[in-house]
Structure 1
Amino acid sequence: MIEFDRRQFEEYARAVFTTDSPSGCTADAIALIKSYVEQLGYTTHVHNKGTLEVDVPGLDESKTVATSAHVDTLGMMVRSVKSGGTLALTKVGGPICPTLDGEYCTVLTREGRRYSGTILSLAPAVHVYPDAATMPRDADHLEVRLDEEVKSAEDVKALGIDNGDFVFIDPKFTMTGSGFLKSRFIDDKASAVLLLLLLRWCSEKKAAFRHPTRIYFVVYEEVGHGASALARNIDEFVTVDMGCVGLDLAGSEYAVSICAKDSGGPYDYELTNRLIALAKKHELPYTVDIFPFYGSDVGAAWHAGLDCKGALIGSGVCASHGMERTHVKGLEATLKLMYLYLCGEE
């Protein structure tokens, strides 16, 4: 059975999480993961859209299977430069905007220059604005205060900042001594790191994959079309993404979630049953759950016409699309279930 190497997880995760990669600006993160994968001896291919593909041979060629994790994250972009020198914003994906009030950020210009700033509400000072505590914290009521001496739109544009520039949100990556990973963008960078651990283990232990396997590090998932351009000859596709935690859901930060249904409908019944059976047989902490407001890369692949069985698993993540948190117990269970599916017993 594969072992969860916490030290290696944290090393990979710190690098991946602190490499900014909102949907549409993922090249640096893909290049980083590509370098890790190639150091392990695997052959890679980067798609025109930016997705990284790793093809691994398998012992039984009767079918081809696939897995994925998405490297792209939520983010913001500059909607316009305001007359007073602040930046209006537009969302990339669906961040919980109230959690962004007060966050440090970095603006990337088209020429590659970076400027630090802070995302603030339009009423940021309690001593000045009577609605400082009550103003809505949606994208229309947030702006970036740049850490530059700017007093006009002309000052800002002289720095090279313009409409359409990306605004990177500080993830605040933290691993605690008690085993928690807390950071923005655990959805889904934690899963990408788990796939790196799986590839590393198989490379070092000379562990064979049961079937020819396509492993995808996907981009554009957060905006709905991440896995819409995969290879056509895939029979089964198990994507690794975050599990939901809260309300009446069964999901837990300490377990792997196996999703039976999300917003797009049920996942493949037989494949989901097989994953549940593997978790039971090997006594992994797991839950079976419904994700009420959720879509995955399997859904994107199905909508694009891929004829495959599909399933979804992932470590339970608290406070998704905000200040997220999960635990190494859930991450370990997810890693082991993926290993059992790809390399273990049927």
Structure 2
Amino acid sequence: MAVPLPIDMGYVTDILYRLLTTPSPTGYTTDVVRLCCAELERMGISYELTRRGAIRADLKGVRGSPDRALVAHVDTLGTQVKMLKDNGRMELVPIGHWSSRFAEGARCTVLTDRGPWRGTILPLKASGHTFNKEVDSQPVNWQQVELRVDAPVANRRDLEERGFNIGDFVAIDPQPEFLENGYIVSRHLDDKAGVAVMLGAAKAVVEAGATLPVDCHLLFTISEEVGSGASSILHQDVAEMVTIDNGTTAPGQNSSEFGVTIAMADSTGPFDMALTHSLLTLCQAQNIPHQRDVFRYYRCDSASAIEAGNDIRTALVCFGIDASHGYERIHANALESLVRLLVLYMQSPPRD
């Protein structure tokens, strides 16, 4: 029987801060994977790494197969160096889909073979004293920005001598703020808030010694922002999977920064109705605030798992996020609501 368990929100917000301050653009996720592995080891949860470095962890249940999974992704948006320019700056290409509008003015770290360098992403016409009103009319695209590294460089040769290369990863500073009223503002809350929620739910289950009806796998994917996500991480005996990710609170959407947002469909189509309605029923039975939403321009780990040919039920539960893929904001209430739901879900009977 699914029963509420004590939730350690102090842990959830602490691990979220540590996740946010560990750079992990898609393709450069080793450090954040190590952080997650250390947390799993501390909780006594067994895990394995895939060849590419994603994590499969296991919470044992009464029955081993068929079983279920929770999934969240540790990779974030970022950029890579496209070209070393003759003016000593660097051209960039985005990792994942995000607007250069949100890159302008960002502090960042260039992760070179020789070590990190700090820098700033600037529009090509960055000085009003030089370009006057042209600073307001410059187009918005990735060809209109460049990276200024904090090093004495004046040309391409200077960059090469200091170890900069085409393809270097660039991690964007998250700038996290945890406010006393519960709001959390940062880049990369998508999906590090989901990872924190999954770890918080696992901690609650482990510390309470709760009995799970079936094994529950905790999956940490490393390439969701570029589309492949959970395509290759699933155990073959997984019958149902719940993805934890963001739900946009923009105009025209029903998501909220409070409670749980349960997605009914995204750009790839409807989620499994039996699994989705079981999550809605758990929310209703335990008075977890929630709302439903449909997303037109959104895909998640569930989509990549289905497209890879996995025969599983999938669902998507979300924390409401304002300004997704930009300067993001969430509320701790949504994180707590999600942990409560996932703890109940892991204890509930699987779908037939």
Shorter-normalised TM-score: what interval? over 0.9
Once the two structures are superposed, what CA deviation does each residue of 1:269-313 show, in whole Å capped at 9, x if it has no partner?
A: 111111111111111111111011100111100000000011000
Query: 1:252, 1:279 → 2: CA distance?
Result: 15
Contact 2:79 2:169 survives alignment (8 Å):
yes
2:238 alignment counterpart: 234
1:26 alignment counterpart: 29
Query: 1:100, 1:110 → 2: CA distance?
Result: 23
Contact 1:78 1:90 survives alignment (8 Å):
yes
For the pair 1:274 / 2:278, whether they are aligned, the reply is yes
Query: 1:170, 1:176 → 2: CA distance?
Result: 18
1:314 alignment counterpart: 318
Shift of 1:168: 0.7
Shift of 1:345: 6.6
Contact 2:108 2:172 survives alignment (8 Å):
yes
Query: 1:273, 1:200 → 2: CA distance?
Result: 25
- Paired residues, what number? 345
User: Pairwise mapping of residues 60-209 of structure 1 onto structure 2 (< 5 A)?
Assistant: 60-61=63-64, 63-111=66-114, 113-130=115-132, 131-209=134-212
For the pair 1:224 / 2:224, whether they are aligned, the reply is no
Is the partner of 1:172 in helix, strand or coil?
coil
Shift of 1:6: 2.8
Superposed CA RMSD: 1.2
Query: 1:168, 1:208 → 2: CA distance?
Result: 40
* Letter aligned with residue 121 of structure 1: P
Query: 1:263, 1:162 → 2: CA distance?
Result: 36
Query: 1:150, 1:327 → 2: CA distance?
Result: 42
Is the partner of 1:63 in helix, strand or coil?
strand
Query: 1:236, 1:271 → 2: CA distance?
Result: 8
Query: 1:136, 1:18 → 2: CA distance?
Result: 31
TM-score of the superposed pair, with normalisation by structure 1? 0.97
Query: 2:9, 2:93 → 1: CA distance?
Result: 37
* Letter aligned with residue 80 of structure 2: M
Once the two structures are superposed, what CA deviation does each residue of 1:198-217 show, in whole Å capped at 9, x if it has no partner?
A: 12222222122221111101
* Letter aligned with residue 228 of structure 1: S
* Letter aligned with residue 279 of structure 1: C
2:20 alignment counterpart: 17
Query: 2:97, 2:39 → 1: CA distance?
Result: 29
Query: 1:48, 1:29 → 2: CA distance?
Result: 16
For the pair 1:300 / 2:304, whether they are aligned, the reply is yes
Query: 2:13, 2:280 → 1: CA distance?
Result: 28
Shift of 1:56: 1.7
Is the partner of 1:33 in helix, strand or coil?
helix
Contact 1:243 1:256 survives alignment (8 Å):
no
Contact 1:101 1:137 survives alignment (8 Å):
no
Query: 1:332, 1:7 → 2: CA distance?
Result: 10
* Letter aligned with residue 99 of structure 2: I
| Structure 1 gap segments, 5+ residues each | none
Is the partner of 2:280 in helix, strand or coil?
helix
Contact 2:110 2:116 survives alignment (8 Å):
yes
Once the two structures are superposed, what CA deviation does each residue of 1:78-124 show, in whole Å capped at 9, x if it has no partner?
A: 0010001001000000122201111100000123x000000000000
Shift of 1:138: 1.6
Is the partner of 1:232 in helix, strand or coil?
coil
Shift of 1:129: 1.1
Shift of 1:57: 1.1
Once the two structures are superposed, what CA deviation does each residue of 1:193-246 show, in whole Å capped at 9, x if it has no partner?
A: 111111222222212222111110111000000100022211001111111212
Once the two structures are superposed, what CA deviation does each residue of 1:28-66 show, in whole Å capped at 9, x if it has no partner?
A: 000111011111111111101211110121124463001
For the pair 1:259 / 2:275, whether they are aligned, the reply is no
